Amino acid sequence: MGRREAAEARGRRAEALAAWWLRAKGYTILSRRVRLPVGEIDLVARKGDVICFIEVKERATLDAALGCVTPTAWRRISRAAESWMAQRPRYHACGWRYDLIAIAPGYLPSHLRDAWRPGMA
């Protein structure tokens, strides 16, 4: 397996762990690995009347994972979230936010709710 394939496999495992973690906390997973022309979303989940667009990062440490999503990446995720919402009118009454789940070996996943908002640097 090449480096790219290995990284892809690690990403899939991290996203599966994050989805499991969210379900254990009462979230419903609506979509996984969303690929749109304007961007990508790792997970889309719902809890109550809030839709969460979740970026999952796995690194050697939780701090490294928490700090590795750039403002440019968040803007791409935001564009993808807007597109996803536009295609699903049944969720238009829901609030929505952008979360980050950080995963590192030897630690439970760290879920940072409302990690970014449009207009943040």
Segment 24-79, tens digit of pLDDT: 999 999 999 999 999 999 999 999 999 999 999 999 998 898 888 888 999 999 99
In a domain? residue 102: yes
Give the count of alpha carbons within 13 A of 46, CB side only. 12
pLDDT band, residue 84 (cuts 50/70/90): very high
CATH number at residue 37: 3.40.1350.10
Place of tokens 């997970």: 43
How many domains are contained in the chain? Answer: 1
In a domain? residue 97: yes
Give the C-alpha separation, 94 to 58, whole Å: 29
Pair 41, 31: CB distance under 8 Å? yes
Q: Is residue 115 within a helix (H) or strand (E), and if so which, with residue range?
A: strand 110-116
In a domain? residue 17: yes
Q: What average pLDDT does this structure show over 13-34?
A: 96
Q: pLDDT of 94-108, one tens digit each?
A: 999 999 999 999 999
Pair 74, 116: CB distance under 8 Å? yes
Pair 26, 63: CB distance under 8 Å? no
* CA atoms 99, 73, 86, 13: torsion sign: negative
In a domain? residue 121: no
In a domain? residue 60: yes
Q: Is pLDDT of 90 > 70?
A: yes
Q: Is pLDDT of 81 > 70?
A: yes
In a domain? residue 31: yes
Identify the domain containing residue 105 by its residue range.
Answer: 3-116
